[in-house]
Amino acid sequence: MSCNDNAEWGSDNKVEFEVSKTDVSLFSRRRKILQAVDRVVVRIGEQSFVIKHEATKGLGFWLDPKLSFKTNFENRIASAKGALQRVASLTNSNGGLSVSLMWRSVVAAVISVALYGSEVWWRGQQDRLNKLQLQPNRQARAITGLLRSTPLAFLRDHVCLPPTKNLLDHRQTRYAVRALSANGDHPAHQLLPANFRLSELYGYESATVQPSSIGWARPEKTHRLFGSRLAQQIVKYVRLRCRTRL
């Protein structure tokens, strides 16, 4: 539905839209397309709008025009640092919460903030993983209230915070399972590759030639497509569970 169609729908249903507050955004991974719309003007009624080059925020998630999710990542890191500073003031060293309650507070109010939306942008990027791995050290000090000179190995063993990579993979696996269990016509279900949804994984395991359409079954391959990445996370989890049972 176009902007003009929205206006007509609003007029027919006695709903008035504030056209002056309209934002026009274009999302594409192709640089040529983004460059081609620099001078494009969108007309809605009697008003004209240019296409935004800044990231657009919706439900706490930032979408940048290139769909790199860099803006969202940086903003979530900054928000998590602010949340950690506020939670750290509650530590037991100041006569506040115990270590167990501080651990729960950090998990609920800090880690969840830092990893919000990671199901979408996580592709195994080492640079982002390095930035996120700096957070557990600060979180461990906030939970225990120990001095900065305390060895990090002791802090990690005492606090039992899981590795950041495991958290990122777990969140994607959990999201992939929810998408797989959704109804067949649900948009989240349709994100996964068709051959994965049709249970063709076992056919691949016994095949002699690997079709390119199910390359997501290769654990050494990092996928750029979101659905293939989610399918790969489920495959890794299933294989790990099978090894554990054996």
Which of 51, 57, 43, 55 minimizes the C-alpha distance to 2?
Answer: 43
pLDDT at 49 over 90: no
In the prediction, which pLDDT does 21 show?
78
In the prediction, which pLDDT does 209 show?
42
What CA–CA distance (Å, rounded) separates 100 from 59? 31
Look up residue 69 and give its two tokens.
Answer: 């999710």
pLDDT at 245 over 50: yes
Q: What percent of the chain has pLDDT over 70?
A: 82
Which of the listed ranges 7-11, 150-154, 185-189 does the model predict with the highest average pLDDT? 185-189
pLDDT at 34 over 50: yes
Rounded to whole angstroms, what are the CA distances from 37 to 41, 66, 114? 8, 13, 33
Q: How confident is the model at residue 99 (pLDDT cuts 50, 70, 90)?
A: confident
In the prediction, which pLDDT does 70 show?
93
* Residue range 182-241, pLDDT digits in tens: 888 888 888 888 777 776 554 444 444 444 455 666 666 667 788 888 888 888 777 666
Mean pLDDT of 70-97: 86
In the prediction, which pLDDT does 81 show?
93
What does pLDDT average to over the chain?
Answer: 81
In the prediction, which pLDDT does 110 show?
93
More confident residue, 68 or 235: 68
**One-letter identity of residue 38:** D
